[in-house]
Amino acid sequence: MSLISLITGKPGPSGFGSASTAEQVTEGIDASHLTAIVTGGASGIGAETVRVLALRGAHVIIAARNLEAANNAKQLILEENGAARVDVLKLDLSSLKSVREFADSFLAMDLPLNILLNNAGVMFCPYQLSEDGIEMQFATNHLGHFHLTNLLLEKMKRTARETGVEGRIVNLSSIAHKHTYDEGIQFDKINDQSGYSDKKAYGQSKLAIILHANELSRRLQAEGANVTINSVHPGLIMTNLMRHSFLLMQILKVFTYIFWKNVPQGAATTCYVALHPSLKGVTGTYFLDCNKFTASPLATNEELAKKLWDFSNKLINSAEQRA
């Protein structure tokens, strides 16, 4: 996708572009046989993703920390679409205990699982540690989703085997993955406060999200599982995600307004990668504006991805042993 395409919304090879909406990229798709989980589905592009998946017939579980907001989002969807199938379950991605409790609750529902949309996140947080003692942006954006995906992966594989329908995992990253610490992931200083940068820590977490997708994609392909995983950059959208830097983002938007999207456009790439039939078998790929895009060299570094995989598992095992 060229800069001109980004500005003008001109469609790319997929037939869609930056101006496409989630409804447009899923038009005519029947998802009534699918069950999906959307983390952070209570607001912003997550709520729009839930709405459009439900509009196409999918049974959607909103996984959210704020149950009141999630139930409000569900009610709005039902008012528009009385046939929508939407459930709400509590999930705090910054807490590994909450992640496991969510997975247990979902598995107890005995539903199939076709789609996992790792959408939720935090952005530009002041330095703080999660309840597990891990830097908050890394803990929420990457580690919580990494743990959740692992806990639900067997259910997704089994659903794909039993139904013959390809499972799809979509990780929401960001173009900000290119703006991280020099080494990409600060394995030895993941919780270091002295050198903390809220912007670089955010970039680090978004880089980790792509590395996770790429490494899991290689592992799924090696075992022949009928499950794909891809990562996406949704674009610049003013949502609650930017609450820690609202004034800065408002100023930035004045000078970069031609690059910004509304919420329906922001949810388009996620919905496209989750549902579009043209992407059957496509995995380990990074998408921007509903088209394949080249991620940074760090994001495609296989050794870095393997190291992150092992590091993430060690963090989770250590935290759970302390609990």
On the 0-12 / 13-18 / 19+ scale of CB atoms within 10 A, 85 is middle
So what's the pLDDT on residue 322?
A: 85
* Helical axes 67-80 vs 44-55, angle rounded to 10°: 40
Look up 272 and say whether it is catalytic: no
In the set 196, 202, 272, 286, the catalytic residue is 196
Residue ranges for the chain with pLDDT beneath 50:
1-3, 239, 241-245, 249, 252-258
Structural domains of the chain, ranges and CATH numbers in brackets: 3-322 (3.40.50.720)
> From residue 27, how far is each of 4, 69, 260, 297 by CA, in Å?
25, 27, 23, 34
Grouping H, G, I as helix, E, B as strand and the rest as coil, residue 102 is helix
**Residue 145: predicted pLDDT:** 98
Task: Determine contact, residues 242/249, Cβ cutoff 8 Å.
Answer: yes
What pLDDT is stored for residue 179 in this prediction?
A: 92
pLDDT at site 242: 45
Is the pTM above the cut of 0.85? Answer: yes
Query: Contact, 121 vs 143, CB < 8 A?
Result: no
- In this prediction, residue 156 carries a pLDDT of 98
Show Cβ contacts of residue 121 under 8 Å, excluding neighbours closer than 6 positions.
40, 140, 141, 172, 205, 241
d(C-alpha 220, C-alpha 245), whole Å: 37
Residue-level pLDDT at 6: 53
The predicted structure's pLDDT at residue 2: 47
Q: Where are the alpha helices (DSSP H) in the chain?
A: 3-8, 22-25, 44-55, 67-80, 96-108, 136-137, 144-163, 198-223, 246-256, 263-266, 268-275, 302-322
- pLDDT of res. 261: 81
- Kindly state the tokens that stand for 144: 């919580």
Longest dimension (CA), the chain: 52
27, 53, 117 from 77: Cα distances, Å: 18, 11, 18
